[in-house]
């Protein structure tokens, strides 16, 4: 069962939490308990497939609401691409999360949620509208994951001029049950519109709404899978494993912490921030002060008020000292990020995207004081999704992979909106 982190709503089943996104009191849903996995699981992990590891991890959060055979099918279809760990330099590796259909880490959560919702809708003729705000990669992953799913309409809000060309193409060119709304504003404006829609009684009386942002438990929880798959690849090093996570809305790092609570022996987490550093400032001051997002070259992290941080606080029972013992935060500028892309390439030949580069910088900063650990930064998207940033730094042409090539020639289809009223009008009359 799931409860609301605003503590003023009834407990919820997994299906209800997936369908509604937010609780009636507008709080995020959170599992009642997280039970550590059996020690035998970790002893046998070398012999388990990715799908078997994921099934053992996610089962307790779904219970009997999805039959075992169906859940295994959902997981198999979600994890049908690789998650390799690549050595960069001594004590630093990267976990590549861009081998899915939209070449971003969000493919995992989007595909898992779409298939769960597809299962729940199989015997249901009532339509549901999935709302998603995107700072870049979420939109494309959700659009691809939900394309053609029965009874589901997807509406994606993205900030005009603040996503890369590839990202925009991925979320505006699919058609069918996918609609893209180009918003005159920032990601935070998009996210605020989605949250306001859930609070709008007139709207929710006429349309069944849910969210495909990481506020939705079915989008958020499966992100723990790839931390586990990285552990399987790295455990033979016999060194403490520390993850450096390029952090925007904080669902990714929170999912890694859930894996840790399941028993995965992760030593520590690093929240690697760009100029949008609300959590880094919180860890330094114990004052949580959201601010308007700042546009950077690592745009998917341009979040001024990360929704999932309240879940991280819940994991630690709002104990600041416990949280700080497991989480470090660092802030890096665009100049630092560009220099890191250049440095990584010159020393290893590896081409990092701007978000991975921020994660790499977090590794470097942490290793200065913790040299006996092995750090892993998450390479959250393929560098060709940010060619305008990466190509001027890399001296050789970067080839577009097939997943990117196929969307670039498609015509953009987006509706420009300026404010919430325009958004609401679109939902009511489309």
Q: Which residue numbers are catalytic?
A: 106
Tell me phi and psi for residue 128, to 5 degrees: -125, 145
Q: In the beta sheet, which residues pair with residue 48?
A: none
CA atoms within 13 A on the CB side of 259: 31
- Helix, strand, coil proportions of the chain in percent (round to 5)? 45, 15, 35
Q: What number of residues does the chain have?
A: 430
Query: First-to-last CA distance in the chain?
Result: 35
In degrees and rounded to multiples of 5, residue 236 shows phi and psi of: -70, -15
Q: Which residue do the tokens 């949008």 mark?
A: 276
Instruction: Specify whether the CB–CB gap between 37 and 47 falls below 8 A.
Output: no
Residue 89 DSSP label: E
Number of CB atoms found within 10 A of residue 86's CB: 13
Torsion of CA 219, 220, 224, 229, to 10 degrees: 30
Q: Could you give the C-alpha distances from 380 to 8, 153, 243, 247, 357, in angstroms and in order?
A: 35, 26, 13, 10, 10
Residue of 132, 43, 57, 141 whose CA lies nearest to 100: 141
Give whole-number Cα distances, 51 to 78, 93, 226, 235, in Å: 9, 23, 11, 18
Structure tokens at 284: 């330094």
Distance CA 301, CA 364 (A): 19
């Amino acid at each position: 069962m799931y409860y609301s982190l605003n503590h003023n709503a009834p407990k919820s089943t997994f299906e209800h939490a997936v369908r509604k996104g937010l609780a009636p009191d507008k709080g995020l849903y959170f599992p009642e308990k997280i039970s550590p996995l059996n020690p035998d699981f970790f002893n046998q992990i070398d012999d388990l497939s990715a799908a078997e590891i994921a099934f053992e991890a996610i089962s307790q959060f779904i219970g009997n609401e999805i039959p075992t055979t169906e859940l295994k099918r959902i997981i198999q279809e979600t994890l049908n691409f690789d998650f390799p760990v690549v050595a960069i330099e001594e004590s630093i590796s990267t976990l590549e999360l861009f081998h899915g259909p939209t070449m971003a880490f969000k493919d995992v959560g989007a595909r898992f949620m779409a298939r769960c919702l597809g299962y729940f809708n199989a015997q249901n003729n009532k339509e549901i509208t999935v709302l998603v705000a995107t700072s870049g990669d979420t939109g494309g992953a959700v659009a691809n994951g939900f394309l053609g799913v029965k009874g589901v309409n997807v509406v994606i809000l993205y900030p005009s001029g603040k996503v890369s060309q590839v990202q925009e193409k991925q979320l505006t060119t699919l058609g069918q049950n996918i609609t893209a709304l180009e918003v005159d504003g920032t990601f935070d404006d998009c996210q605020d519109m989605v949250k306001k829609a859930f609070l709008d009684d007139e709207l929710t009386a006429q349309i069944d709404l849910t969210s495909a942002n990481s506020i939705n438990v079915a989008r958020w929880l499966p992100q723990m899978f790839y931390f586990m798959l990285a552990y399987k690849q790295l455990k033979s090093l016999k060194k403490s494993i520390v993850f450096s996570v390029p952090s925007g809305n904080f669902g990714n790092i929170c999912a890694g912490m859930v894996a840790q609570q399941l028993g995965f022996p992760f030593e520590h987490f690093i929240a690697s921030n760009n100029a949008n550093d609300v959590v880094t400032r919180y860890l330094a001051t114990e004052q949580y002060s959201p601010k308007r997002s700042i546009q950077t070259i690592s745009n998917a992290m341009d979040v001024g008020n990360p929704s999932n941080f309240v879940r991280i606080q819940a994991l630690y029972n709002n104990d600041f000292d416990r949280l700080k013992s497991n989480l470090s935060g660092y802030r890096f500028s665009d100049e630092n990020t560009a220099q890191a892309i250049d440095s990584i390439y010159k020393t290893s030949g590896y081409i990092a995207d701007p978000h991975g580069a921020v994660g790499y910088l977090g590794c470097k900063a942490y290793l200065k004081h913790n040299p006996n650990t092995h750090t892993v930064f998450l390479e959250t998207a393929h560098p060709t999704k940010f060619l305008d940033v990466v190509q001027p730094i890399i001296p050789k042409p970067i080839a577009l992979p097939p997943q990117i090539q196929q969307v670039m020639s498609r015509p953009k289809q987006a509706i420009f909106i300026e404010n919430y009223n325009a958004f609401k009008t679109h939902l009511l009359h489309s």
